[in-house]
Amino acid sequence: MERGRGWLGWNKLPPQDPIVPVGNWVDLSHALDSRAPCASIFPVPETSLLRRMPEHPFNVTMLKTVVHAGTHVDSPRHYYLDGPAFEDIPLDRLCGPGVVWRIDAEADEVLDADRLEAARPHLRPGDILALDTGWAALAGTAEYERHPSLSPKAAEWLRDREIKLLACDFATPDLVYHRREAGFDWPVHRTLLSCGILICEHLRGHAAFAGRRVEFVFAAIAIAGSDGAPARVMCREIR
């Protein structure tokens, strides 16, 4: 198949049960500036004041960044030219109930499907899944580049559980850069995005919700034609 083709359409989501919150909203995002986690192959975000008080009557900040820096969400267009860009993502794909799983992982470890199957609480069709491996605490250090990842079989396992979004507390659910061999083709991204399962990277602050059901909001920017978007991510515990 031609590279950039293979979008299968949005996976079907079940009707959503009423949500009963039992806690306050918590921010799960990195602030977007030059210190935000960013893959070494991309330039770090830059912010500057285009207009500054008191010389001018107001402040105006200019932002220059790739859409995959800091806490962000990938659209299917990231790997599929025939998939939707960010402005075409339905809002119900960016919010809803789900779970936070604590999975203790070693540097460079590849998590297989059996590690996910043992995690609790159980996934429900249509859930959002956030992985807490502890790696968010290493952002800004060299060790952050040796994050865990998912195996292709683990991605297939998640696809078969019909989740609608996977959120990670590290740079990518695919194999870390320094372990990739020639011909590497991002199988985790391709498996999930091909059927509309979105991917959020560089999440933080969700460790307090490990083992619980929560409600998420991934408030990503509707950038026209874009393969991803920076996001302000929030969650709160639910019954």
Spell out the SS3 assignment of 3-71. Answer: CCCCCCCCCCCCCCCCCCECCCCEECCCCCCCCCCCCCCCCCCEEEEEECCCCCCCCEEEEECCCCCCC
Over residues 52-78, the mean pLDDT reads: 98
User: pTM for the full model?
Assistant: 0.97
Query: What residues contact 189, with CB distance under 8 A and at least 6 apart?
Result: 74, 78, 79, 172, 173, 174, 199
- Residues in a beta bridge with 101: 131
Identify the domain containing residue 189 by its residue range.
Answer: 26-31+67-237
Range 135-157 average pLDDT: 97
Per-residue confidence band for 1, with pLDDT thresholds at 50, 70 and 90: low
Mean pLDDT over 191-219 rounds to: 98
Question: Is residue 181 included in any domain, yes or no?
Answer: yes
Q: Establish if 107 belongs to a structural domain.
A: yes
Confirm whether 112 is domain-assigned. yes
How large a percentage of the chain has pLDDT more than 90?
Answer: 96
Does 41 fall in a domain? Answer: no
Q: In the chain, how long is the greatest CA-to-CA distance? A: 60
Q: What domain count does the chain have? A: 1
Residue 114, domain CATH:
3.50.30.50
Q: Which of 83, 87, 88 is nearest to 7 (CA)?
A: 83
Whether residue 9 is contained in a domain is answered as no
